[in-house]
Amino acid sequence: MTVLILYFSGTGNTKFIAEKISRKLEEGDYTTEASSVETFDPEDVDGYDLLVFGYPVHGYEMPSFLKSYLSDLSLLRSKGVIVYSTIGYNGGNSLRSTAEILETEGFKVVGSEEFRMPGNDGLIISGKESDTVREVLDTDYNSSPVINEKVSNIAQRIGELAGNKVDENEVLKPEKKFTYVLLTPLMKLAFYLFEKIFVGKFRADESCVACGLCEEICPADNIELNNGKVAFGDDCYFCLRCINQCPVEAIQISRFTEGKFRFKGPMGNYRPDLLEQKN
């Protein structure tokens, strides 16, 4: 069986999980490819038997820009998809709603997992010596029993499906958490307002060296370097990649992030796939 692992990762959490899933599957002699949606053409899916799709949760939802990407995927209806999400605090019914989106696109959802990871939105306003940051830096996410168990669950589920055509009996839609049915619209509204307020406050301070990295790695093409000055548009995904990847920590959201922690992924070495592809 050949497994395609597609994901979007703003600051490294979702990529980290994708690579762990890939390594686990390769131990079982599966052929895998783990790739970001930013570098993988959605039409190049003919050679894969099963899809694993991962994303970070934004306001109890999958980031909205990923919906159009999913609609361009052309895996056969007889093939299944396992969906996973990375969350900082709470994912609400995100897995359920994403599964329903995938179903409307013709996929059969055959498994799901939710991974609790460092919340990058909270970290960018946390002091570098704070207890929150210290806990993140001191945690060995690669050896986490909870994370490894969930990765093993995905691998086991794929093993159960190996070599078989996915039928209706194999469908495993994520459970709906009724506690969040009413909370989800409120969280979506709160996240929308949060984005609207803070997206317009992105800026590069006087320490900017005009290296152009932020422009290069922005998944929304929302950043431009003009005459040595960084300009931010209004089409931000709020993935926070630019803030965390800036080599001189020049990018700020108003004054809230000045002197605060910058997150380089759970292993401290995250590089966006757009950079990896060019090297």
Q: Which pLDDT tens digits describe the chain residue by residue (279 residues)? A: 889 999 999 999 999 999 999 999 999 889 999 999 999 988 887 788 889 999 999 888 899 899 989 888 866 555 789 999 999 888 888 999 999 998 888 888 999 999 999 998 889 999 999 999 999 999 999 999 999 999 999 999 998 887 666 666 677 788 887 777 777 777 777 777 777 777 789 999 999 999 999 999 999 999 999 999 999 998 899 999 999 999 999 999 988 999 999 999 999 999 998 777 655
On whether residue 121 sits in a domain, the answer given is yes
On whether residue 269 sits in a domain, the answer given is no
Residue 173 identity: K
Q: Are 213 and 175 within one domain?
A: no
Instruction: Provide the domain count of the chain.
Output: 2
Q: Are 214 and 163 within one domain?
A: no
User: Counting Cβ atoms within 10 Å, is residue 153 exposed (0-12), middle (13-18) or buried (19+)?
Assistant: middle
Beta-strand runs (E) in the chain: 2-7, 31-36, 50-56, 80-87, 108-116, 202-204, 223-226, 229-232, 251-253
The domain containing residue 249 runs over which residues?
A: 200-260
Residue 44 corresponds to which tokens in the numbers above?
Answer: 């190049």
| Three-point CA angle 163, 33, 168, nearest 5° | 35
Nearest-angstrom CA–CA distance, 118 and 136: 7
Q: Are 205 and 171 within one domain?
A: no
CATH number at residue 131: 3.40.50.360
- The pTM for the full model equals 0.92
On whether residue 267 sits in a domain, the answer given is no
On whether residue 109 sits in a domain, the answer given is yes
Domain boundary among 147, 180, 213: 180
Q: Are 251 and 174 within one domain?
A: no
pLDDT of residue 84: 97
Of the candidates 172, 254, 246, the one whose C-alpha atom is nearest the C-alpha of residue 207 is 246
On whether residue 119 sits in a domain, the answer given is yes
CATH number at residue 226: 3.30.70.20
H-run or E-run covering 148:
helix 145-161
On whether residue 68 sits in a domain, the answer given is yes
Q: Are 32 and 141 within one domain?
A: yes
Query: How far is residue 229 from each of residues 142, 201, 209, 225, measured CA to CA in Å?
Result: 39, 15, 9, 5
Q: Are 176 and 211 within one domain?
A: no
On whether residue 276 sits in a domain, the answer given is no
